[in-house]
Structure 1
């Protein structure tokens, strides 16, 4: 069997997320690198999942020497039926130094001018949403002054 015979993954739009953010907490240079923690204040999921993001999560960012940010966000959501979801988004945000500086200042930047991608995994105890735990989602995101918005695609 050749590698060309392996199935090619497909992407199906699944849901959209808006994450409302507090200002970053700059921890500075730690043993792991330059660390920032961005508290999550709330937000919304819409599409194949409809839920409100709960305050209390955060994005534990590691800022590389070249300005690339390693994203490690974990947050919870609750559906209208009361089902709880735990979302874990990990990925990278990178671009040219001038674009990254604009984003750091909270300026609006066209999301086509930088790369912001995450892999999203979902955990839940809900039987009716259990299929989410067996799916992997790839998201394309944009950073706004006080929010992150992304569209997640189910990887098939």
Structure 2
């Protein structure tokens, strides 16, 4: 393989295929304040639904989103929760991401206002674990999550990177 072949390969953008979406109900923000790691917040995941061409099911209560708010307002998210597929298989999810917005949009969101999804950047990189053989494709694929936040819920579309 020539250097030109390598360069062409690594500069070619991958395509995406929509796999499924989640709509999770979330509790109020628990603000722990400034900790050794930064401004820590925790939001309980109360349940929700999973719908799409590649996976159907429900989000079980008991997960949470552990956040660090950076000094510039960027929010680092690490959500951990469980999906039960429509067939009853259990799937562990760890979904890491960033939410970035202007100070004005952050202020509106902190007041509980619903802002347009395109007015901020919210992307995630989920990983999945399951013992169900028919769902092992989740563990072998790379995904990008396109997310939006409302006062009482989060919606994320999971797109498989091809």
TM-score bin, normalised by smaller chain: over 0.9
Q: Which residue of 1 aligns with 2:32?
A: 27
Tell me which stretches of 4 or more aligned residues in structure 1 moved more than 3 Å: none
User: Within 5 Å, which residues of 2 pair with 1:6-155?
Assistant: 6=10, 7-47=12-52, 48-155=54-161
Matched, 1:3 2:2: no
Q: Is the partner of 1:49 in helix, strand or coil?
A: coil
Runs of 5+ unmatched residues, structure 2: none
Matches of 2:145 and 2:85, distance apart in 1: 20
Structure with bigger helix share is 2
Matches of 2:101 and 2:94, distance apart in 1: 23
Give the length in aligned residue pairs: 156
Larger Rg computed on CA atoms: 2
Matches of 2:114 and 2:13, distance apart in 1: 35
How many angstroms does 1:106 deviate by? 1.6
Matches of 2:65 and 2:142, distance apart in 1: 19
The TM-score with structure 2 as length reference comes to 0.93
* Backbone CA RMSD of aligned residues: 1.0
Matches of 2:72 and 2:91, distance apart in 1: 34
Q: Is the partner of 1:143 in helix, strand or coil?
A: strand
Matches of 2:124 and 2:15, distance apart in 1: 16
